[in-house]
Each structure stands twice: as structure tokens, then as C-alpha cells.
Amino acid sequence: QVRLVESGGGLVQAGGSLRLSCAASGTALRFPLMGWYRQALGKQRDLVAGITSGGSTNYADSVKGRFTIFRDNDKNTVYLQMVSLKPEDTAVYYCAAGRIDYDLWGQGTQVTVSS
């Protein structure tokens, strides 16, 4: 069974940093798309950042310049480096992967930024 397993969430003060990791297990195939979504309490799930297997990236405007997505294709792992965190970044962060669209999801990891 193919799974995405996230790690690295937690509680951090505003201005701090966190790195999220997401490893794909159960497959050696490389996903063309890997990315991170987030969902704050009472809000919809939105794309934070995405990356292709070739390294092309895209970011939500709200995180540009603060978050960096990168991947290790050999390990089938995607990372999200977050710096200068703000309280409004508080959310459950979900890893996602797919071929044409995102159709495989992780269980989510909580990121809480205190002011």
C-alpha cells in the first residue's frame, strides 16, 4: 500500500522555523507532483507549495520568500522548510502527491505558531 508519512510539525514561536518532511512508502516510483497543503481551523484546504520531479516549484503568495519546498527523488521524500513563521501559518499541513493531480494524501501534521 502506498502511503505518505509526514513528520516535523510542532509548536514554535512567531519568527521561528520548522522543517516538515514527507516520505512516500510502498512504492519506488517517483511522483511527478509532490506538494504541501494546509488547512486552518474552519477554513478550506489550500495549496502551500508544490514541486515537480524536475524541480519546478510554485508557492502560495502568502508564503513566498519564507517557505522553501524541495525534494529528494532518490528517497521519494519532499520537504517544506518554513522560516519567519507567523501565527497565521497555524494549520494542519498535509503532504500530497500524484501524477497529473494530487490524489494521494498524508495524515497531516499540526503546525502551531504562537504570538
**CA-CA distance, 115 to 7, in Å (whole number)?**
23
Contact 70/79 with Cβ under 8 angstroms? yes
Q: pLDDT digits over 41-92, tens only?
A: 999 999 999 999 999 999 999 999 999 999 999 899 999 999 999 999 999 9
Contact 83/111 with Cβ under 8 angstroms? no
The pLDDT, as a whole number, for residue 27 is 84
Radius of gyration of the chain measured on its C-alpha atoms: 13
Amino acid at 4: L
